[in-house]
Amino acid sequence: MTTTACFIIVSRNDIPIYEAEVGSATKREDAAQTHQFILHAALDIVQDHAWTTSAMYLKAIDRFNDLVVSVYVTAGHILCVFLNSYTQHILFGAYITLLNPLYLPGSRIASSHFDTKVRALARKYL
Amino acid sequence: MANYLAQFQTIKNSCDHIVIAVEDVSDLWPNIKSGFEERVPIKRASLNNKTRNPVLVENFPCEFILTTDSRLRSRFPQEQSLFWFREPYATIVLVTCEDLDEFKTILKPRLKLIVQNDEKEWFIVFVSRAHPSNDNAVKMAKKVYAKLEVDFSTKRRERCCKYDIHGPEANFWDDLESKIMECVRNTLDRRVQFYEDEIRKLTEQRFMPVWNFCNFFILKESLAFMFEMAHLYEDALREYDELELCYLETVNMPGKQREFGGVDHGDDWAALLNHENKPLTQIVQDDSFREFEFRQYLFAYQSKLLFKLNRPFEVASRGHSFIIGFSKALTLHENMLPFCMREVWVITACLALINATASPNFDGLVATDIEKEFYRLKGDLYSLCRVKFMRLAYLIGYGADIEKSPVNSALLSMLTWPKPPVWPSVPLDASPEVLEKEKVILQATPKIKHFGIQRKPLPLEPSVLLREANRRRASLSAGNVFEVFDGRPALIDGSASDASSRTPPSKKMNAISMSRTNSSPGTFDGSVDRPMRLAEIYVAAEHALKHTISDADLWKALSSVVEFEQKYLELTKGAADNYHHSWWKRHGVVLDGEIAAVCFRHGNFDLAAKSYEKVCALYAGEGWQELLADVLPNLAECQKMLNDQAGYLASCVRLLSLDKGLFSTKERQAFQAEVLRLARSEMKDPVPLDVSSLITFSGNPGPPLELCDGDPGILSVTVWSGFPDDITLDSLSLTLTATFNADEGAKALRSSTATILKPGRNTITLALPPQRPGSYVLGVLTGQIGQLRFRSHSFSKGGPADSDDFMSYEKPTRPILKVFKPRPLVDLAAAISSALLINETQWVGVIVRPIDYSLKGAVLYIDTGPGLNIEESHVIEMETRVNISQSSAEMTNSNGTQKDCSLASIKEFQQLKLDNGRIEFPAWASDTDSVIWIPVRAISDRLPRGSSSVTPQKQSNLDGMRTIALKLEFGVSHNQIFERHLFNHPNLKNHIALICRTVAVHFTDPFHVSTRVADKCNDGTLLLQVILHSQVKATLTIYDAWLELQDGFIHTGQGTGRPTSSFFPLMISPTSRAGIMFSIRLGKVIDKDEVEALQTESILNIRYGIYGERTNGAHPPVAVDGIETEDARQDLLFKSAIVLQRPVLDPCLAVGFLPLPSTGLRVGQLITMQWRVERLKGPEDNGISEHNCKVFALVISVGVVYYLLFLSLSIGTGEVLYEVSANSENWMLAGRKRGHATLSTIQGSRIVISVLCVPLVAGYVRPPQLGLPNVEESNISCNPPGPHLVCVMPPALSSSFCIPP
């Protein structure tokens, strides 16, 4: 089964710091933009919900036809936004990265190692 | 019971309030009716809700109806129980009576009969008609009423009240209302109980086959309706909710599937707020209702109650989820419904909800959260409506007018096509329309984006409509759809992207030619078997939709492109506004972008630009670059159209600063070209622009540039250019900001020459004028390209150039420049401290010691003080100053570079020329300590003077002190020199580093001469010892010495005054001394020339040579003529003046005061004063002068050395005249005061002169003095000298003086 999935990490000032299209479906050229749009729009909802609940994992916070957006809000209000996918493993990897003392808050995650890891995890668990 | 549905609906429609029956026993109602009816609706009423909790109802409506009224009379008992809710809730019995008997006999039995029915809630209103003035009647009425109360009221319940027709009591109406409400409440409770019991019974039987939903519905709705009549809307709403739940459970029960409904004309027009849309009888089917109508019916009631409860936000929220849920139900039954019924229904439903909740008045009554949620829901409704509307528009061929934006694409491309059982086919007579559509399709040119950006348009359809439509049609006919499709692709619209990508190129060619033939009317036959072309699909859909849509407004909105856009705008604006109200800025702003797109298409660039700016600001602010890349070109184009050059430039720059991957190089070059075109040619006035995102800068990695205070420097800065091509900057300047000094304005470094920035990393060097001490960080980069003045604030990381992170906000700024506090940079000092030879050309060494500072190009100005000349004709030498550590270090360093590792090669030496008082430093001297040797001659025309042994040499070096003023100009660069160190000109801005230093140089004679008379021989020969102190740190060799004597002295013998020549050469080591003895004697003195003789000096001449190093001190004089032979002995002449004096006489007599007796002096006591006179010289000494003794003293330079005494006494007499003088007030002298005493002329003869004297006063008094009047005072030596004062004691006590008073 092919899935469309996207994983994105958004810093606390709403700037995407990492993006990965992790779905097994063949990537459509135009999908990225659409996914970006959907995830971006979902931030409106996250901003409303994140403060109303103590839960960090906001499951299926937004739906866009078939696409489901889930968000994991870290304590530092960094959002790990999952489109159509949620796996603890990716989350954990992302979390470790953000805990890295050498990580400059707000900067983009440019590590290719991290990217490879996320994609590998996605292949494995999605 | 379904038969009752019609009746039920009629009843419901006819009665909407509670009825109160009036049993008018005594025909009173017409009289009091108006008074009663004025009281309704009852202001405040307390009722019990379903859970028996009291609820306060305001403005409770009710109607008084006489029991004789036909509405109450004509009911069948069966109906009564079923529609019990419409029966009266209270019965008021109106009575009057003025006579007790009448009451007892007639009224009371009648009343008993009336009230005996338990089911009724009743009370009695006694109407008193007695006029207040008629006391009798009043009393009677009171009596009757009292009787009435006794008979009908119980302890538990008051059932009577009295109404005075002429003026009711103040509390009557309250009493009446409370009684009415009590009855109503009781009745309501009882009926609720009844319905609940019934409903419970039915609920229990729910799963039995006989169960009938209609019955349940009538009971449930009756209850709900009763609640509604009683204004207990909450309870009513709950009943409807339960009813809906129950219905949804039953309707989907397997085996009980019924017709869905929705196939009637007008069903497409959503009736979710219109409960009177269809009578229940029309929607009933068997024992239940059709889902389509009934669910809308239920929702309509729910929303009606919610509106009554003033909860429009709940209507919206329930409505939204209802629409979503109902839409799913419609999807399930889509194949039974008309074409696009679902879409149309959703549109109309949303619009209905939106209109119904159009203007809620919150007025702060609800929490902000709810208000936000409400607007959010409305936004969602608008948005939903908008999507469906776009879908319909797309189906009828308006797709080209829908912006292919991410939002539209996301919404539409994931929305499935309508799935009719059969895709509508083209009507037979529609060929002109098809042609029309085809023409439109052919004419539609894909919108070319600004800057020639080529993007694949985002899809607006989940799959190719062409295929979808044909597949659904073809399902009826035989044949493979895909074959058919592939053979005849009518790929005219760019939206058929999927298909085009899969179609081989050859077929694509075919497709174009085929499409031409296909479009001709001749080939059109409308047969089912032939796949439809796109235009045909559009036309077919249009016709089908026309058939489906019953809402004229909606159809109008779809009838033309203009109408479509108007509606589309309306919906988009609505959605955007509501999202903005709900603080969902992202949703709102995105839709603003859609509005902008429409404005843009219509040339309303002003509005479009405003909206696009909002969108861009959002995306840019949050860094969603892909989305920004989509919309920013549009904004740029708007700005271009509006001739907003600044905005357009800013947009271009932002486009350039987006991720490189988002645009191709060609596109990026186009952006740059636009910027340059504007900057260089189009703009008339300078335009400022922030290019922080595009051009970033940072200092070079590594430690900051360190400069000494006041030095200029060259600052190297790394500038990253985000431009795709080289770009020429007309000028570039960079400000530096002091880190610790906020008030200090930033200083700009300017590079006015054109700079070419390559893409990526560039290193720019800027000349750095002198800065104040402190630490500096980079401030802002500004520059100019044509008329464009750009500035950049962002620092880039010092990281690798290929990093695509241009900006880093949180990077701490690193100091780029450190300017140190003023410190000595160079030291000038005299090379030697020891003295040099005066009046000879000597090398004066000046040590130039740079202190971690380069002296490249330094110029030394030399200015000599008075008494010092520079031998300008001679070269000046400069050499490296070598000390031990330095030389050893240089030894090791220079191993690699220099073959010859001798010391000489390390030590630099250069001869320089003094040019107008300035010396330019050679290059090698810039970093090392060096010594400049300057040939100078100290001039002193004073003859050095010797000193004598008794007066030691005065340590005064001032005579030989000379100064050299040195001024060193140096600095980092030649043209910019600065000034500092010892010498600070506050107003000096000419950048000259000056060291002005006065170097003191000590010059001295080679020797200091001191003399003493070593011995005076008996023959008058004086041995004059001349002691030569060497004053210099050099070996002096005396070759010759001679003394030129002054008058009055002559050399002993016939010599020239030269010591024996065998003594020479005499070597004198540094700072040691040597002596030369001269033998002289006194010569003749011419008396008259005494004064002249005294001023004459003897001159000591010394011919000497010197051997010394200039590094130590005095050295052989520099050969000024330049011919310098090392072997040639340089004989120097030293002259020193020696003064011999002889002015001093000699005493020949000595007078000594003999001691006084030890007992002391006392007043009146005799005492003998004794003086001894001694002859010091015999007559034989008087060989030179007859009468007066002349004494010669050999005086050297300062003082008397020796005395010669000659007596002036007449040899023959041998007598001395003496005189004793004393103050007669103090002393009484006895004996001779003046007389001659005989003193032998033989040397050493002595006499004692004694005088008897008596002190007269006590105290310290001057004693008597002995004088020798005949002898000059200078010839008398007082030895031992007499006392100045003597102590005289008071007289001893004596009886002879004791005179009693």
pLDDT for res B101? 85
- Averaged pLDDT, B1264-1277: 78
Whether the CB-CB separation of B322 and B277 falls below 8 Å is answered with no
- Can you list the alpha helix ranges (DSSP code H) found in B602-644? 605-622, 625-641
Q: Closest CB to B627: pick one of A13, A40, A48.
A: A40
CA angle B1094, B1095, B1097 (to 5 degrees): 100
Give chain A's domain count.
Answer: 1
CB within 8 Å of B705: residues ≥ 6 apart: B713, B715, B716, B768, B816, B817, B818
The dihedral through the CA atoms of B767, B771, B775, B776 has a sign that is negative
Comparison of pLDDT for B489 and B208, the residue scoring more: B208
Place of tokens 């077919």: B540
pLDDT tens by residue, B1209-1223:
333 457 788 888 888
pTM: 0.65
Closest-CA residue in chain B for A43? Answer: B586
- CA–CA gap between residue B345 and residue B65 (Å, rounded): 44
B129 is written with which tokens?
A: 């008609």
pLDDT tens by residue, B872-902:
777 888 888 776 444 444 444 444 444 444 4
CB within 8 Å of B8: residues ≥ 6 apart: B83, B218, B221, B222, B280
pLDDT for res B955? 54
B1265 is written with which tokens?
A: 């003095």
**From the candidates A44, A47, A52, A67, which should be mutated to test the interface with B, based on the most B CB atoms within 10 A?**
A44
Q: Which residues pair with B830 in a beta bridge?
A: B846
- CA–CA gap between residue B1108 and residue B1071 (Å, rounded): 12
- At B81, the pLDDT band (50, 70, 90 cuts) reads low
Chain B residues whose beta carbon lies within 8 Å of the beta carbon of residue A107: 805, 808, 810
Segment among A92-106, B90-104, B512-526, B993-1007 with least mean pLDDT:
B512-526
pLDDT for res A38? 82
| Count of alpha carbons within 13 angstroms of residue B752, beta-carbon side | 0
Helix pair B4-14, B213-229: axis angle to 10 deg: 10
pLDDT for res B1236? 84
Mapping DSSP onto H, E and C, the string for B318-385 reads HHHHHHHHHHHHHHHCHHHCCCCHHHHHHHHHHHHHHHHCCCCCCCCCCCHHHHHHHHHHHHHHHHHH
Q: Has the ipTM of the complex gone over 0.95? A: no
Contact A15 B623 (CB under 8 A): yes
Helix pair B561-581, B368-395: axis angle to 10 deg: 160
Mapping DSSP onto H, E and C, the string for B676-720 reads HHHHHHHCCCCEEEECCCCEEEEECCCCCEEECCCCCEEEEEEEE
- At A31, the pLDDT band (50, 70, 90 cuts) reads low
E strands, chain A, are 6-10, 16-21, 57-64, 67-73, 79-83
| Count of alpha carbons within 13 angstroms of residue B444, beta-carbon side | 19
Q: Is the pLDDT assigned to residue B953 strictly greater than 60?
A: no
Contact B810 A32 (CB under 8 A): no
Q: Is the pLDDT assigned to residue B1030 strictly greater than 60?
A: yes
- At B996, the pLDDT band (50, 70, 90 cuts) reads low
Q: Is the pLDDT assigned to residue B804 strictly greater than 60?
A: no
A54 shares contact with chain B (CB less than 8 Å): no
pLDDT tens by residue, B1115-1140:
888 776 544 444 456 678 888 887 77
Segment among B540-549, B865-874, B986-995 with least mean pLDDT:
B986-995
pLDDT for res B365? 67
Q: Residue A9 is part of which domain span?
A: 4-125
A99 is written with which tokens?
A: 């805990």
Whether the CB-CB separation of B92 and B126 falls below 8 Å is answered with no
Q: Is the pLDDT assigned to residue B906 strictly greater than 80?
A: no
Chain B residues whose C-beta is within 8 A of a chain A C-beta are 372, 406-407, 409-410, 413-415, 456, 458-459, 579, 583-587, 590, 619, 621-624, 626-627, 630, 803-805, 808-811
Q: Is the pLDDT assigned to residue B984 strictly greater than 50?
A: no
pLDDT tens by residue, B11-54:
887 777 888 888 888 888 888 888 888 887 888 888 888 888 88
- CA–CA gap between residue B672 and residue B725 (Å, rounded): 8
- CA–CA gap between residue B1261 and residue B1258 (Å, rounded): 8
Q: Return the SS3 of B1061.
A: helix
Q: The domain that contains A10 carries what CATH number?
A: 3.30.450.70
Amino acid at residue number B580: H
Q: Is the pLDDT assigned to residue B118 strictly greater than 60?
A: yes
- Averaged pLDDT, B1275-1299: 73
Chain B residues whose beta carbon lies within 8 Å of the beta carbon of residue A34: 406, 409-410, 413, 458
Comparison of pLDDT for B879 and B804, the residue scoring more: B879
Q: Closest CB to B406: pick one of A15, A33, A65.
A: A33
A103 shares contact with chain B (CB less than 8 Å): no
Whether the CB-CB separation of B1194 and B1045 falls below 8 Å is answered with no
Contact B458 A110 (CB under 8 A): no
- Mean pLDDT, all residues of chain B: 76
A34 shares contact with chain B (CB less than 8 Å): yes
How long, in residues, is chain A?
126
- CA–CA gap between residue B141 and residue B148 (Å, rounded): 10
- CA–CA gap between residue B84 and residue B193 (Å, rounded): 12
- Can you list the alpha helix ranges (DSSP code H) found in B777-908? 884-893, 903-906
Please report, rounded to a whole number, the percentage of residues in chain B having pLDDT higher than 90.
2
Contact B627 A36 (CB under 8 A): yes
- At B1162, the pLDDT band (50, 70, 90 cuts) reads confident
pLDDT for res B1274? 66
Whether the CB-CB separation of B999 and B963 falls below 8 Å is answered with yes
CB within 8 Å of B275: residues ≥ 6 apart: B297, B300, B301, B304
- At B70, the pLDDT band (50, 70, 90 cuts) reads confident
Q: Return the SS3 of B1043.
A: strand
- Averaged pLDDT, B767-781: 79
Please tell me which of A68-82, B586-600, B767-781 the model is most confident about, judged by mean pLDDT: B586-600
pLDDT tens by residue, B1041-1076:
888 887 777 787 766 667 666 777 888 888 788 888
A111 shares contact with chain B (CB less than 8 Å): no
| Distance between A92 CA and the closest CA of chain B, angstroms | 24
Whether the CB-CB separation of B694 and B672 falls below 8 Å is answered with no
- CA–CA gap between residue A111 and residue A18 (Å, rounded): 10
| Distance between A67 CA and the closest CA of chain B, angstroms | 9
Contact A44 B584 (CB under 8 A): yes
Q: Is the pLDDT assigned to residue B492 strictly greater than 50?
A: no
Comparison of pLDDT for B1086 and B266, the residue scoring more: B266
Contact A14 B623 (CB under 8 A): yes
pLDDT for res B475? 53
Comparison of pLDDT for A22 and B630, the residue scoring more: B630
Diameter over CA atoms, chain B: 207
Backbone angles phi, psi at B581, to 5 degrees: -65, -30
Amino acid at residue number B293: E
Backbone angles phi, psi at B795, to 5 degrees: -90, 140
- CA–CA gap between residue B1253 and residue B605 (Å, rounded): 142
The dihedral through the CA atoms of B560, B561, B562, B567 has a sign that is positive
pLDDT tens by residue, B339-375:
888 889 999 999 998 888 887 666 666 777 888 888 8
DSSP assignments along B891-945, one per residue = HHHTTTT-S---HHHHS-EEEE--BTTEEEPPGGGGTS-EEEEEEEEE---SPPB
Q: Closest CB to A43: pick one of B413, B459, B586.
A: B586
pLDDT for res B499? 38
pLDDT for res B571? 92
Number of other residues whose CB lies within 10 A of the CB of residue B258? 14
Comparison of pLDDT for B570 and B1121, the residue scoring more: B570
B39 is written with which tokens?
A: 């009281």
Please tell me which of B147-161, B199-213, B563-577, B989-1003 the model is most confident about, judged by mean pLDDT: B563-577
Burial of residue B1190 (CB within 10 Å: 0-12, 13-18, 19+) is middle
Please report, rounded to a whole number, the percentage of residues in chain A having pLDDT higher than 70.
68
- At B285, the pLDDT band (50, 70, 90 cuts) reads confident
CA angle A69, A72, A78 (to 5 degrees): 115
pLDDT for res B570? 92
pLDDT for res B1292? 74
Number of other residues whose CB lies within 10 A of the CB of residue B170? 8
CA B708 from centre of chain: 28
- CA–CA gap between residue B1257 and residue B621 (Å, rounded): 120
Q: Which residues pair with B1260 in a beta bridge?
A: B1287
pLDDT for res A96? 66
CB within 8 Å of A72: residues ≥ 6 apart: A56, A57, A58, A79, A80, A82, A86, A91
pLDDT for res B385? 92
pLDDT for res B1164? 83
Contact B808 A66 (CB under 8 A): no
**From the candidates B387, B388, B417, B586, which should be mutated to test the interface with A, based on the most A CB atoms within 10 A?**
B586
